[in-house]
Amino acid sequence: MVIILKPRASEQEREHIIKVIKDAGLSPHVLLGEERTVIAVIGDERALQKQPLSALPGVEKAIPILSPYKLVSRDFKKENTVIDVRGIKIGGERIVVIAGPCSVETNHLLSSIAAEIKKGGASILRGGAFKPRSSPYSFQGLGEEGLEYLSEARRLTGLPIITEILDPRDLPMMAKHADILQIGARNMQNFRLLAEVGAQDKPVMLKRGLSATIKEFLLSAEYIMAAGNANVILCERGIRTFETATRNTLDLSAIPVLRKRTHLPIIIDPSHAVGQTDLVPPMAKAAIAAGADGLMIEVHSNPEEAFCDGEQAMLPKDFNQLMDELRKIAAAVGRTL
């Protein structure tokens, strides 16, 4: 349920409403707006049967949220959420491009890729230090050493960094380095991990599971928000279908569907969706045309020797050329890049 307070509700009235919600064993999530305050009530609302919130002083109306997800829903928050990461705004008018190698390999390689993508206009550097590989014998990532290289690349270029967390036990180490924590597709429904990243304050980018519906995707984002972290970014990265011509099938319609249902920023990862370098540019353009807030693109200066996902990595020069083309698409849909 969402409680909308009267425009002139006093602080005491607000505090009293919050107390009634808590006393009923429910949790209030307060959104202080410029004009009025909205409180989402999360939990089993049967506890409020004896004490209807709509009768309390200061309450204008109580509206049920019909979707199974609440805090991520547009019914709770009408305006788009904009997340500030070291001055980069994700979810605003400007499209944000995240780029970098699939995994962190060497310090020198990472920093040189970072410098190149920065020249092209990317605003955030990606790179996995912990890799979720299908085979236990494939390269698993450099671990903490990789995080240190990411920090070094940030120091040299000023680009904020995003990296994937696989295990909640790594959180303290991750928190020392990462600006955004990535939850990979394979962990979208690792509910304990979602709750842990929800209980800390770094922004989280949640990738859609390989065979997750949009409802399941949003319910996973709800786990993070319900644990207290409002800075959640959604990333569509292709889903598994019967089609084998591409690595996955990019669900572009997820963009307008998510836009209607949630206020959270929407990023598209065409690289993992198509799995082949030459298919990345058309899908990146299509994503911007369809209204994405940003892109995540894999870039490597020597794709043939990349430790993972070389077949989908763009060369820095091709990435930078793509950025020029994307600027035109962004302008056509009233955005900048």
Q: Is the dihedral of CA 60, 62, 67, 69 positive or negative?
A: positive
Query: Pick from 150, 207, 309, 319: which binds Mn ion (CB under 5 A)?
Result: 309
Only one residue has tokens 């939850």, namely 183
Tell me the C-alpha distance between 331 and 66, whole Å: 36
Query: Pick from 272, 285, 300, 335: which binds ligand PEP (CB under 6 A)?
Result: 272
Q: Tally Cβ neighbours within 10 Å of residue 6.
A: 14
54: amino acid identity, one letter: S
Of 34 and 243, CB closest to ligand PEP: 243
Query: Pick from 75, 164, 196, 236: which binds ligand PEP (CB under 6 A)?
Result: 164
The least distance separating ligand PEP from the CB of residue 333, rounded to whole angstroms, comes to 25
The least distance separating ligand PEP from the CB of residue 138, rounded to whole angstroms, comes to 12
Using CB under 6 A, which residues numbered 20 to 79 contact ligand PEP? none
Using CB under 6 A, which residues numbered 172 to 211 contact ligand PEP? 184-186, 207
Of 24 and 102, CB closest to Mn ion: 102
Task: State the binding string over 250-289 for Mn ion (x if CB under 5 A, else -).
Answer: ----------------------------------------
The least distance separating ligand PEP from the CB of residue 1, rounded to whole angstroms, comes to 34
Tell me the C-alpha distance between 190 and 177, whole Å: 22
Which are the contacts of 284, defined by CB distance < 8 A and separation ≥ 6? 268, 270, 295, 297, 322, 326
Q: Does 285 bind ligand PEP (CB under 6 A)?
A: no
Q: Pairing relation of β-strands 88-90 and 83-85?
A: antiparallel
Using CB under 5 A, which residues numbered 93 to 152 contact Mn ion? 102
Pair 39, 31: CB distance under 8 Å: yes
How far lies 251's CA from each of 25, 273, 335, in Å? Answer: 39, 9, 21
Work out what residue 293 binds among Mn ion, ligand PEP, none; the CB cut-off runs from 5 to 8 Å by kind.
none
Of 42 and 181, CB closest to ligand PEP: 181
How far lies 27's CA from each of 40, 45, 264, in Å? Answer: 8, 10, 21
Angle at 257 between CA 254 and CA 260, to 5 degrees: 145
Work out what residue 164 binds among Mn ion, ligand PEP, none; the CB cut-off runs from 5 to 8 Å by kind.
ligand PEP
Q: Tell me which residue has its CB nearest to ligand PEP.
A: 184
Query: Which two structure tokens, joined as six digits, stand for 120?
Result: 């092209």
Of 174 and 185, CB closest to ligand PEP: 185
Q: Tally Cβ neighbours within 10 Å of residue 149.
A: 24
Query: Which two structure tokens, joined as six digits, stand for 295?
Result: 């892109």
Of 10 and 241, CB closest to ligand PEP: 241
Q: Tell me which residue has its CB nearest to Mn ion.
A: 102
Residue 80 is given by DSSP the state P
Of 265 and 270, CB closest to Mn ion: 270
Of 82 and 210, CB closest to ligand PEP: 210
Of 58 and 238, CB closest to ligand PEP: 238
Tell me the C-alpha distance between 55 and 69, whole Å: 25
The least distance separating ligand PEP from the CB of residue 267, rounded to whole angstroms, comes to 11
Tell me the C-alpha distance between 280 and 288, whole Å: 13
Work out what residue 14 binds among ligand PEP, Mn ion, none; the CB cut-off runs from 5 to 8 Å by kind.
none
Tell me the C-alpha distance between 273 and 141, whole Å: 21
Residues that bind Mn ion (CB under 5 A): 102, 309
Residues that bind ligand PEP (CB under 6 A): 102, 128, 132, 164, 184-186, 207, 237, 272
